[in-house]
Amino acid sequence: MPLDETHDPRLQSWVESANRPDTDFPIQNLPFCTFRHKSGSPRVGVAIGDCILDVPDYPSLNALMAAGRAAAAEERLRLSRALRSDNKYPPRDLLYPISECVFEVPAHIGDYTDFYASIFHATNVGSMFRPDNPLLPNYKYVPIGYHGRASSVVVSGTPVRRPSGQIQTGDAPPVFGPSRQLDYECELGCFVGRGNELGRPIPIAEVEDHMFGICLVNDWSARDVQRWEYQPLGPFLAKSFATTVSPFVVTFDALEPFRAAPFQRADGDPAPLPYLHSANDRGIAVTLEVWLKSAKMAEPIRLSRARFDQMYWTLGQMLTHHASNGCNMRSGDLIASGTVSGPGKDERGCLLELTWRGTEPLALPTGESRKFLEDGDEVILRGFAEREGFRRIGLGECRGTIC
Ligand code: MN
């Protein structure tokens, strides 16, 4: 999918707020969402500046996702032309201020899968539990993942209730009670576009035809519950109580100027097996940030910032691997990347890493400290892509407050 007129950095919109340099949603972005205006029924929309334009061509975002990459590109071109400042007949009657809109989870998510694709995250977490052997031998061969829970995926702004679960400490038997080690995980999500038939894997050379767009994902995690339950089958109730997604899906067409070389593996690392290798496979140069606002804080503070092109596996490799046994992926399915962490201390995408399992608490400007999340804490994920010669685009925000 080459660069085209929709990426032209000179384009301006008749929606004035889309022309401000700090907006996440200039006319070069055009991310899709599912919204309701006041008490209306759910509609497909596209974000432009601080407004949403109704997209009447599709009954649901799943329908647009299922239509495939070419249809999505066509819709993007049509919307770009309709929103340009030189459009003589701007569709003002289809435009709504974001402040008057309520957002839903962008698509109906049939299945949700979470991966573990940051080698920095995997090494940090592994070294807390296995100092001598932090990275298991399968890591550099298999994009590790687990089947998550789709029913508890919620949209940004939905309060997150602290879960209870079995917690075991020291030599005592486990007790059932509220998690005391509630954490967030900053991740990137990818919505599946066109699906594949059961029994027909997706070749890596074709995988981007099956990828629609990206969003922010907070994979909330109860670490105390996780530690006791995760062996031998992996995460279960420590993760399935809530997963928050941002309302806006930035398409791969919008991301075209920000594609990057895949992660450079260290000398001595195995090459990906042939079914996971393509000369055309690319990463995405998106930067993700985590911000925290406790109930006492007037403004949030930034806890970390990491780049998605540092992930060991690309989204294309994750989706190819997922379907490699013939598993059928369906339009609207969500795959998440796993915690996005980089090599630096300020690039750690969860509190488990940032506070090193609670042994190095964070000092907040209010005098409070944090090992894990407290009630009233709001976690805000943000993401953006920028490159010289192109308009910066953003992913919006993914917010959740613990109650
Ligand atoms: Mn996760």
> Is residue 126 over pLDDT 70?
yes
Query: In angstroms, what is the span from residue 337 Cα to ligand 1's centroid?
Result: 7
Whether the pLDDT of residue 237 is over 90: the answer is yes
Q: Is the pLDDT of residue 375 over 90?
A: yes
pLDDT (average), residues 208-221? 98
- Give this prediction's pTM: 0.98
List active site positions. Answer: 121
Span from the CA of 145 to the centroid of ligand 1 (angstroms): 9
pLDDT score of 94 = 97
Closest CA to 297 of 381, 379, 184: 379
**Secondary structure (3-state) at 226:** helix
Residue 365 alpha carbon to ligand 1 centre in Å: 28
Largest CA distance in the chain: 74
Tell whether the model's pLDDT for residue 1 goes beyond 60: no
Question: How many percent of the chain have pLDDT more than 70?
Answer: 100
- The residues near 388 (Cβ < 8 Å, ≥ 6 apart) are none
**CA–centroid distance, residue 75 to ligand 1 (Å):** 32
Q: What is the pLDDT of residue 133?
A: 87
> What tens digit of pLDDT does each residue of 277-289 get?
999 999 999 999 9
pLDDT of residue 28: 98
pLDDT category, 372, cuts 50, 70, 90?
A: very high
Q: Using CA atoms, how far apart are residues 123 and 114, in angstroms rounded to an integer?
A: 17
As beta bridge partners, residue 52 has 47, 96
Q: Which amino acid is at 325?
A: N
Q: How many whole angstroms from 114 Cα to the centroid of ligand 1? A: 6
Q: Do strands 153-155 and 243-245 pair parallel, antiparallel, or not at all (unpaired)?
A: parallel
Helices (H), 277-326: 315-323
Q: How far is the CA of 233 from the centre of ligand 1 (A)?
A: 15
- The residues placing their C-beta within 5 Å of ligand 1, an ion, are 114, 185, 219
63: CB partners within 8 A, 6+ apart:
none
147-202 pLDDT per residue, tens: 999 999 999 999 999 999 999 999 999 999 999 999 999 999 999 999 999 999 99
Q: Could you tell me the distance, in angstroms and rounded to a whole number, from the CA of residue 313 to the centre of ligand 1?
A: 14
Task: Kindly tell me if the per-residue pLDDT of 217 is higher than 70.
Answer: yes
The residues, ordered by sequence, that sit 6+ positions from 187 with a Cβ below 8 Å of its Cβ are: 114, 216, 217, 218, 219, 336, 337, 338, 339, 340, 349
Q: How far apart are CA 205 and CA 256, in angstroms?
A: 17
CA of 64 to the centre of ligand 1 (A): 27
Return the percentage of the chain with pLDDT > 90, whole number: 97
Residue with tokens 């205006």, as numbered in its chain: 37
* 58 three-class SS: coil
Query: Residue 57 and residue 76: Cα distance in Å, rounded?
Result: 12
